[in-house]
Structure 1
């Protein structure tokens, strides 16, 4: 499943880029994120609980940054195992564009699920994945604006 979107953030690109690389901000914005820890400059370990209709799963896995062109773009890839529920794998290409005093964050995301999760049906998985992505970017927008106001 693939989906795209954008968020207009009332902050300069450097501030948005810094937030995209801040584990504490990411933890607060990733829906269901219970823990995130930086292992290296481009690798994080995370635990994320996700509910898909009647089935919920806690995924343990890695988030990896690649194609980094600071402060313009990167690819965030994730892979996690959710025990009996199956696995989740995905990536998001994130691009930041200056728009005056604001930044437009463009994203293109892809997700793949396996195991019991894959048996739930494509339409349900698509809508849940889209909802999670939109929730992340909306919460991220609010977190960046709040951080800018506090600084």
Structure 2
């Protein structure tokens, strides 16, 4: 017998309750600022680093459609969304706007990132963003949702660092 996500959630979780999520942080990346900027503006790079991304296609200048498979708390689902890059200040800053909907709910948000050159071949990336999610996914509660958002952000930066730092490590070992 198949169980739908709807049957696993309490009735109050099925009502529309949008939850706000805020994220901010800093990352040190062992790569020059220009390389970090180029990577964060490359849809192929983003597709490889975004957790759960199963497809990303360009629909216009700095605008993309993305397909994702994600698990939030104990329930997984598929999402389709939009990503847009704007307010670019190469190679220093950019705004990312996201929106999407899927089997677990809907969401939207925006974040700004800034990249500073540390002067030693590394870069300091800072980000600050906010968003809102609703539907079944919001039923997990604010604390869990915040933890999931931090976890997914951490997975993105772990993948990004591995990809960006790999050439540096290869050169050091040569």
* Unpaired stretches in structure 2, ≥5 consecutive residues: 1-20
- What is the alpha-carbon distance in structure 2 between the residues aligned to residue 44 and residue 148 of structure 1? 29
- What is the alpha-carbon distance in structure 2 between the residues aligned to residue 90 and residue 147 of structure 1? 32
Q: Which has the higher strand share?
A: 1
- What is the alpha-carbon distance in structure 2 between the residues aligned to residue 138 and residue 112 of structure 1? 24
The verdict on how the C-alpha distance between 1:148 and 1:18 changes in structure 2, with shifts beyond 3 A counting, is: farther
Q: Which position in structure 2 is the counterpart of 1:61?
A: 81
Deviation at 1:116, TM superposition (A): 0.9
Asked if 1:52 is matched to 2:72, the reply is yes
Q: Which position in structure 2 is the counterpart of 1:38?
A: 58
- What is the alpha-carbon distance in structure 2 between the residues aligned to residue 73 and residue 30 of structure 1? 19
- Contact kept? 1:7, 1:141, Cα under 8 Å: no
1:78 to 92, 98, 103: 98
Deviation at 1:115, TM superposition (A): 0.8
Aligned length: 150
> RMSD of aligned C-alpha atoms?
1.6
Q: Which position in structure 2 is the counterpart of 1:130?
A: 150
1:18 to 33, 38, 45: 38
Deviation at 1:67, TM superposition (A): 1.3
- What is the alpha-carbon distance in structure 1 between the residues aligned to residue 129 and residue 69 of structure 2? 19
The verdict on how the C-alpha distance between 1:92 and 1:147 changes in structure 2, with shifts beyond 3 A counting, is: farther
- What is the alpha-carbon distance in structure 1 between the residues aligned to residue 148 and residue 85 of structure 2? 23
Question: Normalization by structure 2: what TM-score?
Answer: 0.81
- Contact kept? 1:73, 1:96, Cα under 8 Å: yes
Larger Rg: 2
Secondary structure, aligned partner of 2:139: helix
- What is the alpha-carbon distance in structure 2 between the residues aligned to residue 95 and residue 148 of structure 1? 22
